[in-house]
Amino acid sequence: MGPWSGSASPWWPWSQSAVRLLPSSSASSGRCSSTSRRLRLHTVGSQLWKSPHFPRPRCPSRPRVVPLTLPRHRFLQMLSAACQPLDPDGTVFRLRFTAMLWWAITFPVFGFFFCIVWSLVFHFEYTVATDCGVPNYLPSVSSAIGGEVPQRYVWRFCIGLHSAPRFLVAFAYWNHYLSCTSPCPSYQLLCRLNFSLNVIENLALLVLTYVSSSEDFTIHENAFIVFIAASLSHMLLTCVIWRLTKKHTDHKSYNWKQRLFIINFISFFTALAVYFRHNMYCEAGVYTIFAILEYTVVLTNMAFHMTAWWDFGNKELLITSQPEEKRF
């Protein structure tokens, strides 16, 4: 007896006197097989199937085929949050703050590593050359991002795209700090100073990016000095503000801010000492150490700004209509 012939099947829930399933003459005309099978009733009328207490016949269990899908890229998942259904209260745009942070950090990270790798592969001799001719194995940041094309154009493109979200993050931090309370009498002044340093850091980064050292060394050098001074001051002042409002802050974010600031501070001043040693003695490999320390300064700066992921993880950026009584 086959699996379709009445009560001989162990899974059949009713007796043969009630109903029987017969295979159709064609293997491609029904619902319960790969193509088709026909359900035929013999002794019980059609009213039996309308009873709510009588179970309907079910197809024999078959292995369920689950389609395998590859996970989508994390960055695309974050950006897809902007396509979520909007509220019927006039909201025309919604974006998770973390998606904007991915936007702000992905472009400079990609541009940085692209310029380094491209310089090593295609412009190695030019980008690692030193004034005194000693062996060097890594390009400096200025040489990698502004010395040759297409590195110069890629870096400018990435920094330009990430600068607008950086300004929004600066405003978000300013409002966040002002919403916290602190017993320090000059707390609000520190918040304004921190916001100003954040904006100056971003502006100086734009200047030193779009004016390379080969085009105008004086402007590039001064912009770099302003950028480093504003960056270190902003990091230090941020840690101070978070310490003043410690009960309002995320301890994980605060601890990482401290670590990244310390690493950035030590790496910068060590790189400064190595740079002067290279100019004084022209030793082989010293400029390579300087380049590694430069990379550390750049990456720790990016990571410091990325700690906003923990600070604004539950926030959203909205474009919505004002209430009727507040419209101009």
What pLDDT digit, counting tens, does each position of 110-129 carry?
A: 999 999 999 999 999 989 99
Residue 142: pLDDT above 70?
yes
Q: Which tens digits make up the pLDDT trace of 253-263?
A: 999 999 999 99
Looking at per-residue pLDDT, the higher value among 4 and 143 belongs to: 143
Q: Which tens digits make up the pLDDT trace of 219-257?
A: 999 999 999 999 999 999 999 999 998 766 678 899 999
CA distance 256 to 95: 26
CA atoms within 13 A on the CB side of 239: 14
Q: Which tens digits make up the pLDDT trace of 152-168?
A: 999 999 999 999 999 99
CA distance 154 to 107: 10
CA distance 143 to 124: 11
Q: Band the pLDDT of 17: cuts 50, 70, 90.
A: very low
Token couple for 47: 């009213």
Assign 245 to helix, strand or coil. coil
CA distance 30 to 15: 23
Segment among 19-33, 132-146, 172-186, 273-287 with least mean pLDDT: 19-33
- Of the candidates 161, 150, 97, the one whose C-alpha atom is nearest the C-alpha of residue 121 is 150
CA distance 132 to 281: 9
**Average of pLDDT values for 291-302?**
97
Best-predicted range by mean pLDDT (9-13, 74-78, 263-267):
263-267
Q: Band the pLDDT of 68: cuts 50, 70, 90.
A: very low
- Of the candidates 119, 157, 121, the one whose C-alpha atom is nearest the C-alpha of residue 140 is 119
Residue 177: pLDDT above 80?
yes
CA distance 228 to 268: 9
How many helices (H) and strands (E) would you count in the chain?
Answer: 11, 2
CA distance 289 to 285: 7
Segment among 30-39, 79-88, 200-209, 315-324 with least mean pLDDT: 30-39
The pLDDT, as a whole number, for residue 7 is: 40
Q: What are phi and psi of 318, to 5 degrees?
A: -120, 145
**Rounded percentage of the chain residues whose pLDDT exceeds 90:** 51
Q: What are phi and psi of 207, to 5 degrees?
A: -65, -50
Judge if the upstream peptide bond of residue 150 is cis by omega within 30 degrees of 0: yes
Q: What are phi and psi of 116, to 5 degrees?
A: -65, -50
Q: Band the pLDDT of 88: cuts 50, 70, 90.
A: low
In Å, what is the CA distance from 38 to each residue of 41, 48, 83? 10, 18, 45
- b/e code 196-211 from CB counts within 10 Å (16+ = b): bbbbbbbbbbbebbbb
Residue 212: pLDDT above 90?
no
Residue type, 226: V
CA angle 314–316–322, rounded 5-degree value: 135
pTM (predicted TM-score): 0.71
Contacts of 196 (CB under 8 A, 6+ apart): none
